[in-house]
Amino acid sequence: MKPDFFRKFPVIAALIAVCLSAGRLVESTKPPPPAAGKDQLVAAFDAAFIQILFNGKWREITAPLGPLVV
Task: Give domain limits for the chain.
Answer: 1-30, 34-70
Decide: 42 and 35 in contact? Cβ < 8 Å: no
Q: What span, in angstroms and rounded, lies between the C-alpha atoms of 42 and 50?
A: 12
pLDDT tens per residue across span 13-62: 777 888 777 777 777 777 777 667 888 888 899 999 999 889 988 888 88
Q: Where are the alpha helices (DSSP H) in 1-70?
A: 2-28, 36-55, 57-62
This model's pTM is above 0.75: no
Give the pLDDT of residue 17: 80
